[in-house]
Each structure stands twice: as C-alpha cells, then as structure tokens.
A and B are shown apart, each in its own frame.
Chain A
Amino acid sequence: MTRDEPLVDRNFLERLERLTLHWQKSFPGLVGGHNRSRFAGSGLEFLDHRNFHHGDDLRAVNWRAFMRLEKMFLKMFQVEPRVPVRVMVDISRSMTTGAESKFAYARKVAAALCFVGLVKLDLITIQPFSDHLEHSFLCGGGRHRFMPAAEFLSNLRPRGAGDFLKIAREFNHEYSQRGLLIIISDFLDDKDCFKPLQYLSDFGHELMLVHVWAEEDRVPPWEGELALEDAETGANLEISFDENSRKIYTEAFDEYAAQLRRLALRNGGRYAGLPTSLPVEEAMFGPMVTTGGLA
C-alpha cells in the first residue's frame, strides 16, 4: 500500500454504514453511542450556561454574550458517557511477513471497525502496540472524524517485537475504564499470550480477538532445507521441511488458533480468524458478522 492510497475506499465505507459494533457485557454507568445522558462535560450538544471561573476553558466562553453584557459566561455541553471501544493494532515486525502484508491488512480492518464505530457515535481509541503501547488516537463524534483516524493508521510503521504480558499490564494501567477491546494481531508472541489475554478479560474488558494470518503462516509453501529467521527476535532455525513436516506445522497452527478462539469464547468474547487472502470487505461482512462482532 502506498502512502497516498486510502485504507478503505468510498464504496466500502458506504456499505460499512449498515454495520454496528456489538458487545455482550454490561458496563455500569456507560451507554452506547446511540443513548444520551444529562451529565455536563466535553460533549458536543449545548446543555446550559454558567459563570466563568478562573481556569475554565476559554474556548467555551460565549463571546457574543460578553460583547452584549460585558460578563463572561461559559457554555456547558452534555457529556456522553459511552462504552469505550479500544482498537489495539499490532505493529510488531512479525506482522510484516508473508506475501500479503498482515500489517497493511490489520490497518484496513482497524480503519473499517473505526468507521463503523464512528457512524454509530461510539468513542474509539486506536491503540497501536508492539512491545509497549504506542501513542493512541481518540476519535468520536461522527463519521466526519474518520479521516484523522485513517491518517493516524496510515502513518503507523511496524517496529518492535510483540510482548503481550507487558502490553496487558500497560493497558490496564492506562485504561482503567472497562469497555470493548478489539485486538487485531497475529498473536505470534514467542512467550505465552494466553495469560495476558486472560488477564485483560479478567480485568473486565470484553475481548474481541481478530486473528490475522498470512497463508505462509499457516501453510508454508517451501520445501527442502530451510534456514528460518524469526522476524521479531532474529532467532535462526535450520530445518528440513517436507510434506509431512508441513502437515505437522499446519496442525500446530490450527491448534494455536483454536486455543485463541476457546479463550475468547470462554470469557464472553469473540474470535475472528482472517487470512490476508480474504478481502477486507468480505471479512467485515463475513467472519466478523458471523462471529457476532458486527451486526
């Protein structure tokens, strides 16, 4: 994907408007994007006026009233305490392997999910990660806020090695409010990634695991003497690979994916396995819908 190429095209976006992000858990004090509250705060719709106090945000001053009355009044907006939707995008180097880049695929999926949430006025946090949490991007308030989010995703670059345990700790520390947690990753952490995911679920987040893999990750097309190098750690392995080995490899991969799925389902979450050969559009209206992540 080139720098100027959009992550998702206009036709795809129009189709995505029909979808909605779904979660199963009930989060106390929070509502979805389609419900309103009467709490004042940093909302979009006007609620009331009050006197200006030192330290208030000058952007909220009603300057027209000041010009007429020479007194400063502050405009108050209704707060929207929504269920936070966090989209975690794996940007580790393992995402760059394969004939079709998992990294580009993951960004497209993240952009599509972000648009679906924005259309339904959800509050979306895009959180890239590798071995630590990168700078996040918060967006909400409607579809017109999608372009900055898409630009943020486009500017992401792969780096680092995945470390889910460290990520889980940082995430719980950073985001104390529970919500829907969509993790888009290949989940190829040399260390165990099941415990960190369980940890995140136990903390109260509803997990939606979007497992992205390249075809080479599941069925390696090579045969013979191979000198393998881990894309993240640089570890090497020399191996003789034949048809039988390929079968064993694929079975191990499928077992790993099945464990991920069991983990998600056991904790009330969802799992969607997306090979990069599957177009993103079909993935959004196929596996993502059938698993209940989108409706």
Chain B
Amino acid sequence: MFFLNLGLGEFLTLFSAISAGVVALYLLDRSRRKQTVATLKFWRPAEMPSQQQQRRRITQPWSMLLQLLGIGLLLLALAGVRIGQQLSEGAVRDHVLILDSSAWMGARVRQGTLMDDARAQARAWLKTIPSSDRVMVVRADAVAAPVTRFESNRAVIEKAIRETQPGAAALNLGEALRFAQQTGGRGEIVLATAGRIATGELPATLPPNLRLLHVAGPYANVGLRKIGLLRSVTDPDAWEIFVTAKNYGPSPTNVTLALQFAGTPVGSRQFTLKPTSEQEATFLFKTRAAGVVEARLLSAGDAFPQDDRASFELPNQRQLRVTVYSADPALLKPLLASNPNVSATFLAPLEYGAPQPPKAEKPDVIILDRFAPPSPPQTDSIWIEPPALQSPVPVAATYTKAKVTKWTNDAVLGAGLHTHDLELDSAIGFRAGPNDIAVASVDAGPVIVARPGAHKTIVMGFHPERSRVKYELAAPLLFANILRWIAPESFLRWQLTGGNVGTVNVKLAPHTDPAQVRVIGGDGSTIPYTIDGDSLRFFASDPGTVRVLTGEKELVYSLTVPEVGDAIWQVPASVRRGVPRRTPLEAVTHDIWYWLALAGAGCLLAEWIIYGRHRTRLRAMQPGRPAPMFDRKAS
C-alpha cells in the first residue's frame, strides 16, 4: 500500500494537526460551562453524584473516536492510497509518445493501413511501462500537437491513440522531436512512424532517449503532385490544364493520367515515371459550361491511392450581353468585337422598347449612341453624346477645340489611359454630381462622367469613333475599362490550382493593389495572409478550397491533394527500436480512495446521528411560551 498524492510524513502531519484540533474542540465542547443562575436550590435535586466522577474525564469517547476515524479515512482518500507495490520516486517517468499522423500513414498495408500498425505498436509499448509512468500523446504531421497532458490514466491514453487518424500533410520530424524534447519528460520519446518525411525537415541531432516504433510498409507510390487550370489567353473558351505526377518509389512505374469533365473522358496520357522524379502533362480543354474536372492517375500496385485523384469545379464563363441602339452601328462594332467576353447586339433606335422574343435574354448593358429613349433604361447604360435635354447627367456647355487635360485616376476606369495633346473638335461638357466620377475632363469641365448606383451610367460627351480619339490607344482602353467597371465579374480571370495543405505562395501580378486582395476559405471565412512584394503567402491547416481575389483575377486553390513526404528517413543505428521486452515493475495496484471516502463520510454521519443530532437539538432549543402551570381562576 502506498500513497499517491501525499507522503507518509505529510499524511501523519496532517492527521496529527487535524486530530489535535478535533480533540481540542471536543474537550472544549465538553468542558465545564460556567453559568450564573438565580438559585441553586433546584439544581441540587438534579445532581447525580454517581456520574460526576466519570464525566470529569472524557465523556462520550466513541463520539471522538468516530470523528477521528472519519477524518483519518477522508485524509487517506485525499492522499490517494493505493494497494500494491510502490515504485521508487526515480522510477516514475514521463514519456512522450509521438504518433505519426501524416498523410502517408493512410497507405494500405495488408488488411489495414500504416496507421493501424502504428496504433497497435503504441498500445503494445504502453503495456510495457509501469502504470505509475505518465505519457503524453502527440500527433505529428506538418505540426506537432499534443493530444493529452502527461497522463497516468491508461484509458485516456488509449483513447487518444485510438482516435488518431492520418492527416493531409507530410511529417515534419524535426519539429515533432523538438516539441517532445521541450516537454522535459524524464522518460522516453517514443516515435511511431513509417519514416516518410518531408524533405529538409530532418533534425540536426536526435534525442538520446528516442525510441522508434517503426511501421514497416511499402514505398511504391505514384501520385498527383500538382494540378493547375488556367483560362487560355488566346481563347476564352479554352482551359489549359497542367498536371504534375511524381513517382515516390524506388523503381520506374508506368502510369496513365486520365482527365474527365462532368464524368466524360476528355483526355489521357501514358508515360513512365522514373524513380523519385516528376513529370508534367498538359491538356487543352474547351468549355464555357461549369462542371467538375477530375484528374486520375492509374498505376499498378499503388499503396497510397489517396493522392491519385484530384478534382476541380470549373466556373461558368459568362459573356457580357450588350445591346447597342445606334443609327450607325458600324462605328462601335470594332470596339465591342475586340473583347471575346462581350456579346453585342446592334439595334436601330426605333427598335428601343419593341417587344422582344420570348427566349431573348435581357441585356446586361445598353449603349445609346446619340439617342435618348423615352424612358430611362432599367439596367446599366452607356450614353454617347446624348441630347442635351435628355441627358442623365445635366449638360453644362458644348466645347469646341477643347483639349483633354485629365483622365480619372480610378483604378478600373482610368487603367492605362493616357493621351498627349488630344484635342476634341467638339465635346459636350457635363455638370458632375458629388458622387459622379469625371472620367475625362477638359479645362472647362468633365466630358465623360461615370455615375455609380444600382444602375451604373456612363455619359460620354464625344463619340470615341467620330473624334480624334479613335487614333489613340485610349479609345479601346476607355471602352474596355468602362465595360469592366460596369460588369467586373464578366472580366475576372480564373486560375485553379490543386496542391497540398500547408503554406501556399501566390505570385501576384505587378502593381496589384493590396487593398483589393482577399483570401477566403471554403466556408467563407477570411484567412490571414502576408504580402511581400509581389508574393502572397497564406497557411491552410485543413484540406479544402481557398480563393484568392486580386481584383481582376481570382485564384482558386483546391488543397485536397494529400502531401506525401519526399524522403525516407534513414534511422541511425544508435536509435533504440521496437517494443521493449520489459515486464511491469509493480504489481497491479488498485485505487481505494472512493471506498475510504465513503467509509469516512459514513463514520462522520454515524457520529452525527448518534451524538451530534442531540447536541444540535439542544442548541436549537429556544425559550418558548410554556404550558401554563395553573390556569384556572383562583377563588
């Protein structure tokens, strides 16, 4: 029998101190109480000399003994007394059990996975250590995370082992061992791993108390390393798909890389991957529709199928529908036809408001060329040289021979606009409102005004194809900027990338405004990021989709491909291996504190029932109205 929480000396000291207090209180409670009374004449008949001598000593000794016994039992319960052989203080150790929870531990082996074997070895090791030893369970992949504190309760430890599952990242062995050393445990650092680690994550020195529970498994694996989808620059309907596959095994492997869109095969490649080498395959796939693109790697004898498949959901490529009401449509056709994202329809001004075919889609933007409709359009609109009385922005004056002196510095509207000594033969000047944007101005005032709102409106005081602007590069740029300002979502450039969880570096376009950058997780939450120059960096700890918005570009990262370690850890010979053949040092111990606590409480309860209740009743006795002794009338 030994104490878990208190030493024998501490227990005896505590018990002596409390017992002394109890005895003192007991004697004080039963010491003679001085009372001043009105007379002694009624006390003498009540005096019992036969008991006087006995009560001068300790009265009710069983009451005191029961109290002392109860307190002693409660103290024993607090001390955590155990039945069994106690180990010496130096034999009680704190161990750190590192369970490799990297993605590779999900590789198939025999009837289960590498993780199953690791768990079995961890449980076997746990049975060999004394029950008094404490163990901290740490799950390690890219980061090392403790699951339990130093715990002696085997049920808690086994539950932590049982619930450990393979993750999505590679094992960072150096960090896991550093964490284990920082815990300061005096026992062993036990590492249950298959030995596949991330390159460059090897520790400089290994801790001397390291024990390796090596999980033997296959090394042959071919998997997708990276996948990228990018809208073609030349053809907006086409997607360029780049897939990188890697052979992690020691022997060459023939693989087939198949690509499917919405369940339909759209391409495949066959190649031979050399040992520990990567190969990239490129696909060109045309579609405007949304759907799931899936890349699948087929190879024989692959032990880790989780990295053989990756899929993306392609967004719908939507065109901007523009309806032009112009008496001279030939002027504007080149401007609109140059943009593949724009689908333009040209109508005569007289057709404005005419009934449309039932299946005709409502235009996104209406361009009114020198024409004002009877009622303002209920959508975004571009007015070119509107009639003075019907202009949506009040006309201030008409200028002749006016030089464009200023273009807006708005990031979208003014992108790339620059002219030198551009003189307009004739231009309409406008009175811009407080929220309006003066896109182009002459000395006397603005000649192109943008008005934000529910329906965005652009009013141009000169025709881009009927003035000298048509000879400038600013003409198509101005029109492209206006359309992008009106419908920015139609001009987004998509790029989809598949990869592993962890730190992701994104190359930003030059001069990207950091204020327009947002990094959003799959659940809509904002993910912290840093921007260093033209490089954006964020960290994703869980598999999922991350969107990076940079104004005109949206990058989608599907971080669902498991990260498999590139290197096989060559274990030094000095490292102890396997489950030790050591029997437990102590016999089986039993906790009896709850029985002791129950017995102690029972003793105190019995003492109260037998003795204390009576004393409580006496203290509670208050002088009340007595029954009248003589209540009949004297006569």
Contacts and interface: CB of A to CB of B under 8 A. Distances in A.
Interface of A: 94-95, 97-100, 102, 186, 188, 190, 214-232, 235, 237-242, 244-246, 248-249, 252-254, 256-258, 261, 264-265, 270-271, 273, 275, 277-278, 287, 290-292
Interface residues of B, number: 40
B37 A97 contact: yes
Given A228-B40, A273-B628, A277-B626, A252 B45 contact: yes
B629 interface: yes
Contact of A240 (B31, B51, B623, B628): B51
A248 to B, nearest CB: 4
B631 A290 contact: yes
- A-B complex: 4 closest residue pairs judged by Cβ atoms: A215-B623, A245-B46, A188-B39, A94-B38
A287 B631 contact: yes
A217 B621 CA distance: 14
A80 B103 CA distance: 123
Interface string B28-57: 011111111111111111111001100110
A220 B38 CA distance: 11
Given A97-B38, A235-B40, A271-B634, A224 B30 contact: yes
Contacts of B35: 220, 222, 226-229
Given A229-B35, A238-B32, A248-B45, A275 B634 contact: no
B630 interface: yes
B625 interface: yes
Contacts of A224: 29-30, 32-33, 55, 59
B481 to A, nearest CB: 97
A98 to B, nearest CB: 7
A230 B39 contact: yes
B630 A273 contact: yes
B29 to A, nearest CB: 8
Contact of A277 (B623, B629, B634): B623
12 contacts: A190-B39, A214-B623, A225-B32, A226-B34, A227-B34, A228-B36, A229-B37, A237-B43, A237-B44, A258-B630, A277-B624, A290-B633
Contacts of A277: 623-626
A270 B633 CA distance: 9
Contacts of A246: 46
Nearest to A256: B42
B367 to A, nearest CB: 102
B618 interface: yes
B38 A237 contact: no
B635 interface: yes
Interface string B205-227: 00000000000000000000000
Contacts of B621: 221
A141 B429 CA distance: 120
A249 B33 contact: no
A278 B625 contact: yes
Contacts of A215: 623-624, 626
Which secondary structure dominates where chain A touches chain B?
A: mixed
Interface string B594-625: 00000000000000000000010010010111
B632 interface: yes
A225 B623 contact: no
Nearest to B44: A237
A217 B32 contact: no
Contacts of B618: 221-223
Nearest to B33: A226
A254 B157 CA distance: 75
A231 B36 contact: yes
Contacts of B38: 94-95, 97-98, 102, 186, 188, 214, 217, 230-232
Given A224-B30, A229-B35, A245-B47, A292 B40 contact: no
A271 B630 contact: yes
A275 B51 contact: no
A227 B33 contact: yes
Contacts of B623: 99-100, 214-216, 219, 221, 275, 277
A267 B34 CA distance: 40
Contact of A218 (B615, B626, B632): B626
A270 B42 contact: no
Contacts of B47: 237, 239-240, 245
Nearest to B615: A223
Contacts of B32: 224-227, 238
Q: Give the interface centre of B33, B36, B46, B55 by most chain A CB atoms within 10 Å.
A: B46
Contact of A254 (B41, B46, B629): B629
Nearest to A239: B47
Nearest to B54: A240
Contact of A249 (B30, B45, B59): B45
Contact of B634 (A94, A225, A254, A265): A265
Contacts of A241: 46
A100 B532 CA distance: 89
B42 A249 contact: yes
A270 B48 CA distance: 36
B45 A230 contact: no
Contact of B55 (A188, A225, A244): A225
B53 to A, nearest CB: 9
Contacts of B628: 273, 287
B220 to A, nearest CB: 90
Contacts of A238: 32, 52
Contact of B46 (A225, A248, A287): A248
Nearest to A187: B39
B42 A253 contact: yes
Given A229-B34, A240-B52, 11 more contacts: A94-B38, A99-B623, A190-B41, A224-B59, A225-B30, A226-B33, A239-B47, A240-B51, A252-B42, A254-B629, A277-B626
Nearest to B623: A215
A225 B26 CA distance: 13
Interface string B503-521: 0000000000000000000
Contact of A239 (B46, B625, B634): B46
Contacts of A257: 629-630
A207 B625 CA distance: 26
B49 to A, nearest CB: 9
A94 B41 CA distance: 12
Given A188-B38, A225-B30, A225-B55, A258 B634 contact: no
Contact of A230 (B29, B37, B48, B55): B37
Nearest to A94: B38
A292 B633 contact: yes
Contacts of A230: 36-40
Nearest to A261: B630
Contacts of A275: 623, 625-626
A237 to B, nearest CB: 5
B40 to A, nearest CB: 5
B48 to A, nearest CB: 6
Interface in B131-177: none
B630 A249 contact: no
